[in-house]
Amino acid sequence: MPQKPRQSHSCGVKFFQRDSAATMNQRIAKIRQLLNELESEPNAPPARDRDFSARELPLIIQQIVDDLQPQLSPYDAAFYWFLFRHSFAKDGDPHLRVSMRQLRTAVVKSSYSQLDENPVSLGKVQDTLRALETIGAIRKEGEPNRDGTLYQVLIPDEIEACLKFRAERMASDQKFKFPSAGIEIG
């Protein structure tokens, strides 16, 4: 009796290998699809906790006025307040996407023109954003796209220059005296 060829066993192995390879290819295709989806999304990191207390907002505003604003030019300050208003103050999320075109007209009028329509120059917008990045008040979080550039707005407790400024200010603050009560506050 002739031996049966082992084709059935090898066919089973080949079938299993083919089936396994097909499953593997499907998984790889699915992984590639998911990676492509992730790469096509804006590079926004997850939003910070949106549950910061409304009681914290006045303190943050005080810190901006006391520790950040004295280090900014008038344009820098106006742009920072605009970005803060449309990020933290809007919904607690420090991220926002803005375009140069939007910033040219939405923040302030140019100080160099008396026309009704006097947008800030593109160069001034770029210089101002660069200045805010340099001091650490904002951080670019992604590459520009058609909708603008994604930025993270930082608050004074997250800005090294503000922490340093605050420490220097606190160290140099003179003690206040209330002469009628003889009380010193320092």
The string of pLDDT tens digits covering residues 4-59 is 555 555 555 555 556 677 787 888 888 877 766 666 655 544 444 445 666 788 89
pTM: 0.65
Task: Dump the DSSP string for 48-76.
Answer: PPS---TTHHHHHHHHIIIIIGGGS-HHH
Domain boundaries, the chain: 56-170
CATH of 56-170, one of 2.40.50, 1.10.287, 1.20.1630, 1.10.10: 1.10.10
